[in-house]
Amino acid sequence: MPTDSLTLDRPLDMHLHLREKEMLGLVGPLSAAHFAGAVVMPNLVRPVDSLADLLAYREQVAAATSGHVFMPFMTLFFRDYSDEELAAARPHLLGIKLYPAGATTNSEAGVKAIDAAESTIRRMEEQGIPLLVHGETHGFVMDRESEFLAIYRHLAETFPKLRITMEHITTAGAVALLDAFENLFATVTLQHLLITLDDVAGGLLNPHLFCKPIAKRPEDRAALLAAALGAHPKLMFGSDSAPHPRSRKECCGCAAGVFTAPIALPVLAELFEKHHGLENLQAFVSDNARAIYGVDPPAKSITLSRQPMKIPESYGGTVVPMFAGEEIGWSVRSD
């Protein structure tokens, strides 16, 4: 029997971009309304790469999301950190995010060679600080994640006590790697469970579906979806919701990022129900992450109802969400 509602306990978004200033003020409350917590990415215009910056940014996020039950799990931008810096930061962060230099938004200061980063990675392993990775090379765009899988294997073998999260995976190969190494985990986005590259560029280009890593082939989407629907214990929901103003999306040189934060849970409910996996949504959006990271988000429940919802054309008149203007079958219930 189909269910008319579903209550999620402490839903979490394990990969979220909140940006800064006015954009943070707009999008922060949209995530905080539906999630008990989120892993906040550090790739600001000036990357968050010191404890002082992390604490200041956490205060900004807290101010923007005040009035909601919401815990930001903070991250640092990867650089060469000393033992002393890591020890001081450890109580305040969930992990450190490694970006290959130039791979995505505001990542120019990222890592140019993995071997040069290994001294810091070793210190992280010794201090029990997780490593979160944007796993792409600079090769042909469709092959960038697949080429990076060898680096994941190397890291998993070289640092067996290091918890490594493959962020926003997009390929069947990455899904298979989850079962190959005990210390490898992953997040997957809403858009990569739903679309392929054909949806982005198969007809007229849809800039609001363009993100990095780009959507891949149908067989990749099928592997991701099967793992999510089956509540693979090493896979977590991470929206990678990445807001940009319309002027940066509907232009030459379109910015990469899909904005999904305010629609993620109802769209996931519709997707999981369609594939007869609604009973596993709780694990995908909360239980797995809590077990993997040992986090304890604040008490919060979100009830989803099988009530139609029309997705707004934009938020704040400037940020266009995925499926703007379309109707979906589920919505978050307002009590």
Query: Which positions are catalytic?
Result: 240
Calculate the alpha carbon distances from 322 to 60, 66, 79, 267, 276 in Å: 26, 26, 33, 10, 23
SS3 206: coil
Pairing assessment for the beta strands 331-332 and 301-305 based on DSSP bridges: antiparallel
Residue among 154, 198, 196 at smallest CA distance from 177: 154
Q: What is the DSSP letter of 258?
A: B
The Cα 58–Cα 4 span in angstroms is: 37
Helices 144-158 and 114-127 pack at an angle, to 10 degrees, of 50
DSSP for residue 13: E
| CB distance 26 to 315 below 8 Å | yes
DSSP 168-200: T--SHHHHHHTTT-TTEEEEE-HHHHH--HHHH
What is the C-alpha to C-alpha distance for residues 197 and 193, in angstroms, rounded to an integer?
Answer: 12
